[in-house]
Amino acid sequence: MESVVVKARTERTEWYRDARFGMFIHWGLYAIPARGEWVRSTEQLAKEEYEPFANEFYAENYNPKEWAKLAKEAGMKYAVLTAKHHDGFCLFDTEYTDFNSMNAPCKRDLVREYVEAFRAEGIKVGLYFSLIDWRHEDFPHYGDMHHPMRNHEECGNENRDFDRYLEFMQGQVKELLTNYGKLDLMWFDFSYDIMKCDKWKAAELIEMVRSIQPHIVIDNRLEGSAEDAGSIRTLDPTPYSGDFASPEQMIPPACICDVAGNPIPWEACITLNTNWGYSAHDKHYKSPKLVVRTLVECVSKGGNLILNVGPNSKGEIPEESVAILKEVGTWMKQNGKSIYGCTFSEYTKPEWGRFTQKGNKLYAHVFEEQVGAICLSKMAGKVESMRLIKDGTEVKESFFWNLKEYADDAFFFFDSRAFDCYPLPDDMDTVVEITLKQG
């Protein structure tokens, strides 16, 4: 029998599982040194070295309406912005710290502008909030595996009050939940070592979140991480287990399921280049083809893809990212119905690509040219019709003489007049909509 937690999770995530494609936005002070969002930790920068960046945060070209239009053009249905990352700098108006965008030279509530702009484009809005705060005096410094001052004995933890930190953390979460209207998603990040579950007073935090916005979809990182999904994979998940698993910088080998084999919601969080936050010298961008095929792979395994962009300190999404997303958007306009609302198929992954499916609509994503006809394994007699999804062109089932030995399988060519290798109509991913016979 489905547990109460799982039943509620299924109801909350209906829109999320239909959306399939989202935009992650990592933006903050770290865009000024431009060496990635973990720069303060990796370079073990002291507070006095890092905080002056706040005096240079002008965000003069920040226009979230442009970001929202780009996300919509790319075919993304939801977005998540870093309201606060591990460095503690807030992009919103908060009464709990002066380390925020309202006190920076930009003097703007950047979160408010973001949620208004993305809502106006019909895109679901989410916020990322770090459970970690390297600036707060009551957060463990010395010995913590990630804190910039982890190796500095003079930064001992004897006089730090973690309960006071948790009051601060929950206060900021409550601000986000009450001051910005309906939020669709909250992305907490992240648990590690002993910093998980009860350490965060996770049950209390979730109770507060659900009391204010019961519909909100939440990730699994109050108890999990990119290394361990937590109890969401069990039959009796905790109330703070989250609504989806969040593998990072990789695609799972198969659909993520609980221990009984039941699929659970999941989302691969992937960077468009290498870093999450802006890194001036990181030009290792994924191609539009790789992005499309990664999205298809996620959906073919019952998951979502949230793809990250890292704007520079001025608030500009790098032009390389913009160009890639626009090209992905062109493919999505023609082929989006093979993504939205789709999931894994009842049929085994084909050698030439992947399947996604929605009801009796099977979508064949053909990645590779074939010698001879394209095989639909074990599908003889099951195909009612086929159309090239891009423009509706009829694709006929093939019954050539050299295929008759394989009576259990169905076959097709993109051009029924052809009898051999035929160039793919779309080298990125050619999608054929197969209507399956019912009954």
pLDDT digits (tens, 9 = 90+) for 129-169: 999 999 999 999 999 999 999 999 999 999 999 999 999 99
For residue 418, the model assigns a pLDDT of 67
Q: How many domains are contained in the chain?
A: 2
- At 183-223, the pLDDT tens digits run 999 999 999 999 999 999 999 999 999 999 999 999 999 99
323 shares a domain with 219: yes
Q: Check whether residue 383 and residue 257 sit in a common domain.
A: no
Q: What is the pLDDT of residue 113?
A: 98
Burial label, 170 (beta-carbon count in 10 A; 0-12, 13-18, 19+): middle
Domain span at residue 309?
A: 4-337
Half-sphere exposure of 315 (CA within 13 A, CB side): 20
Please state, in angstroms and rounded to a whole number, the distance separating the CA atoms of residues 132 and 87: 8
306 token code pair: 């949230």
> Which stretches of 220-368 are DSSP H helices?
288-300, 319-335
Do 290 and 148 have their domain in common? yes
Do both 100 and 238 map to the same domain?
Answer: yes
- How open is the CA angle 148-150-151, to the nearest 5 degrees? 110
Task: Give the three-class secondary structure for 387.
Answer: strand
Contact 293, 356 (CB under 8 A): no
* Shared-domain flag, residues 148 and 53: yes
Residue 279 forms beta bridges with which residues?
35
CA distance readout (Å), 251 to 37, 110, 226, 242, 297: 22, 32, 11, 19, 8
With respect to residue 186, please indicate whether it lies within any of the assigned structural domains: yes
Dig out the tokens for 366 from the structure: 């053909």
Q: Residue 193: left (phi > 0), alpha (psi -120 to 50), or beta? A: left
Distance CA 350, CA 225 (A): 32
The one-character DSSP state at 52 is G
Write down the pLDDT at residue 422.
72
Domain limit, last residue, from 337, 362, 378: 337
Is the residue at 343 inside a domain?
no
Domain for residue 347, yes or no? no
Q: How buried is residue 260: exposed, middle or buried, by Cβ count under 10 Å (0-12/13-18/19+)? A: exposed
Among residues 129, 152, 139, the alpha carbon closest in space to that of 45 is found at 152
Is 346 part of a structural domain of the chain?
Answer: no
- Domain check: are 40 and 189 in the same one? yes
Residue 129 lies in a domain: yes
**Low-confidence residues of the chain: pLDDT under 70:** 1, 418-421
Residues 277 and 362 in one domain: no
Residues 284 and 411 occupy one common structural domain: no
Cβ pair 276, 36 in contact under 8 A: yes
342 domain residue, yes or no: no
Q: Is residue 313 part of a domain?
A: yes
331 and 391 together in one domain: no
Residue 348, in any domain of the structure: no
Contact partners, residue 247, CB within 8 Å, separation at least 6? 226, 229, 256, 266, 267, 268, 269
| Domain final position from 312, 337, 362 | 337
The answer to whether residues 294 and 220 belong to one domain is yes
CATH code, 45: 3.20.20.80
Same domain, residue pair 326 and 363? no
- Helices 110-120 and 64-74: angle between axes, nearest 10 degrees: 40
Q: What is the pTM of this model?
A: 0.97
Domain-ending residue, one of 309, 337, 365: 337
Q: Would you state the pLDDT for residue 1? A: 63
DSSP 63-111: -HHHHHHHHHHHT--EEEEEEE-TT--BSS--SS-S-BTTTSTT---HH
286 and 373, same domain (yes or no) = no
- Residue 422: which CATH number? 2.60.40.1180
Check if the beta carbon of residue 62 is closer than 8 Å to that of residue 106. yes
